[in-house]
Structure 1
Amino acid sequence: MPTPALPYALIFDMDGVLIDNTPYQARAFQLLFRDLGLSTNARQLLRRLNGMPASNILKTVFTNPVPDKQLKEYAAQREFLYRTLYWDKRREAAGLSKFLQAARDAGFKLGLGTGSAADTISYILDHLDLRRFFDVVVGKDDVDKGKPHPDTFRVAAQKLGVPPERCVVFEDALLGEQAAYKAGMRCIALSTGLKPAQFQAPMAVFKDFTTLTPRLVLELLDQHPRAPRPSKELAGRAYSQLR
């Protein structure tokens, strides 16, 4: 008797994928920068660094080193600003729940892999009743290194019991896309913060989930049998030079 094929797994980033919240994230950073007397353009910064933990993003905007304790305080201030701005705007991406349910019904395993901490994950997943769709949830507190390191997606795959070559990552950020490739996974991109041409090599780019189906994901997997190699230029930029 032939051995049954292993299932595929779909691993989703949260910000900019499950929800289209990038403008609110950028606004929160911009308000923080104003308070700190910084002239950094938050939208431009997030186009390149989105996906990193906030404290790591903040580390790149100061000319002189800032103690980690202070960076964490700034990150907490940014988080408060973001939640205040986004409180009444929390909405799932168009077509998301329908696609997640269809994927589960089709036999896909589903995971969440985000750089957010547990309370921020709850702020979105539980408010929108999305946690019920996911077999595993991996956040900032579950890994040693966040994106663009591959740990987030590797841990999610391990918990799902699915090898990397059978995992598809859904990402809206360059660093998340690079993390997927470093983990040996293929990627589908969401163009909530970037234009399609700005990604490296996703299997496809969608604006939301309204036209996405499990059958289409399987077709894309057949068309792209291997994960791309991560781009050294995109994954290894001198981010500390950003201002």
Structure 2
Amino acid sequence: MPSSPTPYALIFDMDGVLIDNTPYQAKAFQLLFREHGLTTNARQLLKRLNGMPATNILKTVFRNPVPEKELKEYASQREFLYRVLYWDKRKETPGLTEFLRAARTAGFKIGLGTGSPPETISYIIDHLDLRQYFDVITGKDDVDKGKPHADTFTVVSQKLGVPPERCVVFEDALLGEQAAYKAKMRVVAVSSGLKPEQFQAPLRVIKDFTEITPEQVRELLDQHPDTPKPSKEMAKRDYMKL
């Protein structure tokens, strides 16, 4: 008997994809900045750096080097502020559960690849009862280098047992899109915080999961077999080295 074809895999970022929480993340950063006398615009900052670990984002806003221990303390403060602000607002992106159910029925493998630590992952996906839909969950503690490096998505792919060329990543952030291309995967962009034209080369841009079906994802993957190369312009920016 002929062997079954390797399945496709769907890999999801969490913030801005499973949930539309970017405004609350930005407000938490802004409150932290105000506490430390910083005038950085958090919304504009996250348009460029969203997807990075919080400590790396914070490195870019202080004029002088800050010890790693202090950065971790500031990141913890920001996380506390975010959870308080978002506590009663937690809800999934429209159409998500229906899409995940349909994807599982259609035979897709499903993974989560986020830069968040385990407690933050649980804060979202367990509250929303989403863990049941994911075959693999990879977070901050599972990789050496977070986005924009490829590690997050590469690890998910390996754990799912699906080669990168058969994976599609759902991302809302520029650095997440670059991480996917570095991992040799294609992207469906979720425009929760960016305009469609701000992404580099996604297969498609959606506002939420009511605008796409698993079958349409399969068709996009079949129609566009080549993975875009990471942007040279993005790679030249200093924050890519963090």
Q: TM-score band (shorter)? A: over 0.9
In the other structure, the counterpart of 2:132 is 132
CA distance in 2, matches of 1:79, 1:122: 13
In the other structure, the counterpart of 2:175 is 175
Amino acid of the structure 1 residue aligned with 2:78: R
In the other structure, the counterpart of 1:90 is 90
In the other structure, the counterpart of 1:79 is 79
CA distance in 1, matches of 2:235, 2:109: 28
Deviation at 1:2, TM superposition (A): 3.1
In the other structure, the counterpart of 2:226 is 226
Gaps of 5+ in 1: none
What is the SS of the residue equivalent to 1:16? coil
CA distance in 2, matches of 1:164, 1:77: 36
In the other structure, the counterpart of 1:37 is 37
**Aligned-pair identity (%):** 77
CA distance in 2, matches of 1:199, 1:223: 19
What is the SS of the residue equivalent to 1:137? strand
CA distance in 2, matches of 1:207, 1:236: 29
In the other structure, the counterpart of 2:49 is 49
Number of corresponding residues: 240
Amino acid of the structure 1 residue aligned with 2:110: L
In the other structure, the counterpart of 2:11 is 11
CA distance in 1, matches of 2:160, 2:222: 22
Deviation at 1:164, TM superposition (A): 0.3
Amino acid of the structure 1 residue aligned with 2:11: I
Deviation at 1:211, TM superposition (A): 2.0
Amino acid of the structure 1 residue aligned with 2:85: L
In the other structure, the counterpart of 1:109 is 109
CA distance in 1, matches of 2:29, 2:142: 25
Deviation at 1:223, TM superposition (A): 2.1
8 Å CA contact 1:143–1:155 kept in 2: the answer is yes
CA distance in 2, matches of 1:211, 1:229: 26
In the other structure, the counterpart of 1:64 is 64
Deviation at 1:80, TM superposition (A): 0.4
CA distance in 2, matches of 1:214, 1:127: 25
CA distance in 1, matches of 2:24, 2:235: 25
Deviation at 1:3, TM superposition (A): 2.9
Deviation at 1:212, TM superposition (A): 1.2
CA distance in 1, matches of 2:192, 2:237: 22
What is the SS of the residue equivalent to 1:153? helix
Deviation at 1:218, TM superposition (A): 1.1
Amino acid of the structure 1 residue aligned with 2:158: Q
CA distance in 2, matches of 1:235, 1:177: 12
* Aligned alpha-carbon RMSD (Å): 0.9
After TM superposition, the score normalised by the length of structure 2 is 0.98
CA distance in 1, matches of 2:236, 2:147: 12
Amino acid of the structure 1 residue aligned with 2:206: F
Amino acid of the structure 1 residue aligned with 2:120: T
Deviation at 1:233, TM superposition (A): 1.2
After TM superposition, the score normalised by the length of structure 1 is 0.97
